[in-house]
Amino acid sequence: IKRAQSQNNNNTDYGRHTSASSSGYAGSGENTSFAFIPTKLRRDLIELLDRNITGRDNWKMLAEHLGYKLQYIQWLDEPRIQSPTERLLMRWEIDVTESPEDALRNLEKILRKIERHDAATKIQVHLNECSIGKETTV
């Protein structure tokens, strides 16, 4: 129901879908129940991808490979956006239709494709830790 309400209140089509607000949702009063990236992993990805390092792809290339439109990517690049990676990840968490585990695996693949093995490895380590936890509790 909340997702449907969000759809009805959103007239902006910056991203790949119109189902989420273009502003992201942290601190904006929007629903945050879609978040599934653990805090530590999120912080690690933000730290790695927010930095502009010559010759390395960052959050912009990730956004492009996730299928977001140029207009949305340009909006994320505005100076008033403190962390474009954080906003991008929030939007992506709302937009994905697969399970959190599958979504993270696909995100890892995309990061490897754009040669951000450092960020992909962070996701891989997280998924491996979760997998080990499942095996020991069964």
**Per-residue pLDDT tens over the stretch 25-51:** 343 334 445 789 999 999 999 999 998
Name the pTM for this structure: 0.73
C-alpha distances (whole Å) from 53 to each of 47, 63, 85, 88, 112 are 12, 16, 14, 18, 17
C-alpha distances (whole Å) from 11 to each of 7, 36, 73, 75, 83 are: 8, 25, 17, 15, 23
Q: Provide, rounded to the nearest whole percent, the portion of the chain with pLDDT above 90.
A: 63
- Residue 31 is assigned to a structural domain of this protein: no
- Give the CATH number, domain containing residue 72: 1.10.533.10
pLDDT tens across 68-77, in order? 999 999 999 9
- Would you say residue 125 lies in a domain? yes
Range of the domain at 66: 39-133
User: CA-to-CA distance for 57 and 12, rounded, in angstroms?
Assistant: 27
